Amino acid sequence: MKRNYINSILKIFAVAILFFSCSSDLDFDQAKDLKLEPVIVANLAYFSVPANLLAQNTENQPLFDVRDFDVFKDKFFNDHLKRCDFDVEVENTIERNFIVTLRLLDANNTILETISYPVPAYKGSQNIVKYPTEVFQNLRLENLKRTVKIVFVVLIDGEPLTEQSLGNLKLRSSATVYLDIE
């Protein structure tokens, strides 16, 4: 009887040893190193201006529009933004040269950035220009983050247009946003 009990105990311990396990060296602290670096693309701006709208301005005064641009008001976005690229493409089917200008304004309407895109005149064949990427980093990025408005300016470079002028000036653009979230 007694031996039976002792045997039981021994066997329980023998198997219990099997339950002890080993584990590789784990380091849970490295969770602190978690860094998300998503790259997000988004529409930036779009317009399509018909030639006859441009023709209303016979003095060749620039056509402009001011738009609120408030994404940088978001603190989380602003804090984690590490880089931003603008890609602009313009399709011109009007027989004039243009200069399209984007002006970034801060809350005091101070101009932070002026970016100009010379647009060649339409000559009967496809006329789409993709402009070099504008990269905002460091100081330039800090300026961008203060932007609250964008002014779009279209200037005809040449003879004024008439009500009968044909074609469109189309701008499409995107922003590529590099976030760094730790």
Q: Retrieve residue 155's tokens.
A: 């200037």
Interface ranges with another protein (CB under 8 A): 1, 4-5, 7-9, 11-12, 15-16, 18-28, 30-49, 53, 63-65, 67-71, 73-74, 76, 87, 89, 150, 152, 154, 170, 172-174, 176-177, 179, 181-182
Task: Work out how close the CB of 29 gets to another protein at its nearest, in angstroms, rounded to a whole number.
Answer: 9
Nearer to another protein, 12 or 139 (CB): 12
**Of 83, 51, 72, the residue nearest 160 (C-alpha):** 51
Task: Work out how close the CB of 44 gets to another protein at its nearest, in angstroms, rounded to a whole number.
Answer: 5
Task: Work out how close the CB of 151 gets to another protein at its nearest, in angstroms, rounded to a whole number.
Answer: 9
Q: Retrieve residue 173's tokens.
A: 């653009």
Task: Work out how close the CB of 39 gets to another protein at its nearest, in angstroms, rounded to a whole number.
Answer: 4
Q: Please give the Cα distance from 81 to 128 (Å, whole number).
A: 30
**Of 156, 172, 179, the residue nearest 47 (C-alpha):** 172
Tell me if 127 sits within 8 A of 91, measured CB to CB.
yes
